Amino acid sequence: MSHPQTVCITGAGRGVGLELTRRYLERGDRVLAGVRSPETADALAQLSGDIEIHRLDVVDEASLAAFSDRLAGAAIDVVIANAGVLFGWGGLEDPAYTAESWRETLMVNVFGPFATAQALAPNLCAAAAAGRAPRLAIIASRMGSTAEVIGKGNSYSYRASKAAAVNLARNLAAELKSKGVAVGAYHPGWVRTDMGGAGADISVEESAAGLMARFDALTLARSGVFEDYLGASIAY
Ligand SMILES: NC(=O)c1ccc[n+]([C@@H]2O[C@H](COP(=O)([O-])OP(=O)(O)OC[C@H]3O[C@@H](n4cnc5c(N)ncnc54)[C@H](OP(=O)(O)O)[C@@H]3O)[C@@H](O)[C@H]2O)c1
């Protein structure tokens, strides 16, 4: 892996995205950090290194187009579609499952990575044309494993959205392989963030360190993987 790389991360203002940003900067890579609201991205603003903070709402086509225009076709080595939302951990009776929350979940967790791929494919292809090894990482979840959903019966909209995100990653892997871009779907672990909660298994540091190693190991030959932050394959 040659360094430095240019890495674009969505949802970079907090949680796993923020820690990935911090670690890539620490390694000397260049980070294009996408956030919905740069004005309030205080934690990002305090990071030092080769960082550009960009306004990017992954469900807003105008925001995606403006971001893509600003990049002007520049090569990107790694795109990490990390932005995600979760509404409702419960069963059918959970009041979180409104039409509006389903819309938001499917838009952010499914359309979001798709639209990110669509907007940044030219930048990944530019890296391939320059003889680099571009990669697209979609942060899904093991909760999106259709094989593992057996016996669960909860978190309906989130599980459905992440199953779709895995499908999307594998479908994109098929299209982008001939263009020299590798694609993978990843489970970051159950992580102590706003989404994962204080009782989750691992820290953002453990998750981000593991994920970065997985992204470094992603090649065209392995394109289409669905694996966790430690490299264990997950059945889809
Ligand atoms: N934490 C876990 O245990 C866990 C487990 C499995 C998978 N994951 C996945 O890992 C990823 C990161 O999760 P996390 O735990 O770091 O979550 P988090 O702390 O809740 O952070 C979510 C991030 O997504 C951003 N976001 C939401 N909607 C967006 C939009 N429309 N456009 C751009 N950014 C948007 C948020 O930005 P704002 O600050 O603007 O809201 C925030 O930066 C997600 O895809 C999540 O589903 C997490």
CA 152/CA 45 separation, integer angstroms: 40
Query: Ligand 1: which of 40, 87, 116, 193 to mutate, judged by most atoms within 8 Å of the beta carbon?
Result: 193
pLDDT band, very low/low/confident/very high, at 199 (cuts 50, 70, 90): very high
Q: What are phi and psi of 187, to 5 degrees?
A: -105, 120
Q: Name, in order, each residue with C-beta under 8 angstroms of 175's C-beta and a sequence gap of 6 or more.
A: none
Across the range 113-120, mean pLDDT stands at 98
Looking at residue 10, what is its pLDDT? Answer: 98
Cα distance between the two ends of the chain: 28
> What topology is assigned to 6-228 in CATH?
Rossmann fold (3.40.50)
**Ligand 1: nearest atom to the Cα of 56:** 33
pTM score: 0.98
Task: List pLDDT tens digits, range 79-103.
Answer: 999 999 999 999 999 999 999 999 9
164-180 pLDDT, tens per residue? 999 999 999 999 999 99
Residue 49 Cα to ligand 1 middle (Å) = 23
Q: Mind listing the pLDDT tens digit for each residue in 27-48?
A: 999 999 999 999 999 999 999 9
SS (H, E, C) 116-139: HHHHHHHHHHHHHHCCCCCEEEEE
Ligand 1 lined by 137 (C-beta under 6 Å): no
**Cα 185 to ligand 1 centre (Å):** 15
Of all protein residues, whose CA lies closest to atom 5 belonging to ligand 1? 190
Taking a C-beta distance cutoff of 8 angstroms, is the pair 165, 138 a contact? yes
